[in-house]
Amino acid sequence: MNKIFTFLGKPRTINHQIANRKVSWLELFYDLIFAVVIARLTDSLLENLTITSIGYSVLIFGWFIWGWNEVSGYFDNHGNDSIINVLIINTEMILTGIGSLFISEAIDGEFTRISIVLMLIELLMATVWFGLAYFDHIHGPASRVWGSVHLFSLAIMLITYFIGNVVLVIGLCFGLLLNIFDVVAANPRLAREYDQAEMEHKIKDSMIERYGLMTMIALGEIIAGLYETVNSRITSDTIIRFIICIILIALIAAIYYQVLGTLHIILSSSIATILTGWLFILAIMFSFYMGVTIQIVLRYEGTVRQMMGNLAFVLSLILFLAVIRAIVFIGTETEKQENKKLITGYLIIEGIILVGIAFAPTIWFLSGAVVVLLIMITQGRLLN
């Protein structure tokens, strides 16, 4: 057994932290598969746009982004260039790629095949955490809790799989919630672990960088979708709309990166750390829905569906901005209560303006959104 471990290598232990750790090429390569996931989700949702399919898209997005967050968190604390870690991240990437093949049918309500892939991802992560407990005695108690939660989630999914598709969807919802909040079960052990290793509860710069890169992938997929939408009917009007949309996405990215460089997030507990991390994930999700809704705006111009697209885009954008402001409150020096009230007031005013211009013709709606975002950037509101 020791010879096998000598060949495969060992994960980095939790008390072996790397100062100013940079994201590795392997992690960057792994992130690329999620461009496929987001593109498949967008295309499938646009082909079957109903309230039910939107709900399914949230569930599917949640499962894939949970897998990404789980592997990313593992590599942030335990990553190195050992063979065993290369196998873990490549196996997760392959499973994610296979799962993306079944996104379209899942959006249509058929979860039988995609659930098999999700169960394999669940089993992989349970194995990773139980295996880590063997190598890392400090992190072992918490790792075993996470592994046990994932096995319990897997059991729920497996049982509901044999009952039927409707119950399976419910099982996937419960399994995902267990995965997201597994830190609650492990929190007492994590508290002892952090005291023992004398570590701070914080979101490290390397993870903030990963969240930023994933958000940029989501925003990049919006631009890719715009090309497909405009390519179907190239006229001077569509080119103008295309240019305005590119500017709009660039400004959203600018707002995000304006905040990203100021963050230094130190928290009081592991639960607070995980929940703050999921704020970044919500920003990624709202970026994805901005991509879906902006394509609805352009594809169905002049129809009732286009108006719904306007309002849905505004809602996604407001929620994105609200999440960014929440991250600012947590991770910057915005301490004064009056400043927080001011920033919240700006969000309310901007939201009202955005909702108002949603009823304008497309060109004015898009231009108005650009002006609102441009004012936000030039005034530096997010950093006050």
* Tens-place pLDDT, residues 358-369: 888 888 999 999
- pLDDT at residue number 333: 56
Q: What is the DSSP string of 144-189?
A: HHHHHHHHHHHHHHHHHHHH-HHHHHHHHHHHHHHHHTHHHHHHHH
- pLDDT at residue number 1: 46
Residues 6+ apart with CB under 8 A from 370: 244, 247, 248, 251
Distance, CA of 158 to CA of 273 (rounded, Å): 30
- Band (188; pLDDT cuts 50, 70, 90): confident
> Tell me: the pLDDT tens digits for 256-291?
887 776 677 777 778 888 888 899 999 999 999 999
Distance, CA of 178 to CA of 62 (rounded, Å): 12
- pLDDT at residue number 5: 56
Residue 244 has pLDDT above 80, yes or no: yes
- Band (382; pLDDT cuts 50, 70, 90): very low
- pLDDT at residue number 2: 52
Mean pLDDT for 342-349 is 73
> Tell me: the pLDDT tens digits for 24-39?
888 888 999 999 999 9
Instruction: Tokens for 231, please give them.
Output: 């390519």
Distance, CA of 352 to CA of 288 (rounded, Å): 22
Mean pLDDT for 183-187 is 84
212 or 19, which is more confident: 212
Distance, CA of 366 to CA of 242 (rounded, Å): 10
In eight-state DSSP terms, residue 262 is T
Name the pTM for this structure. 0.90
Mean pLDDT for 307-329 is 89
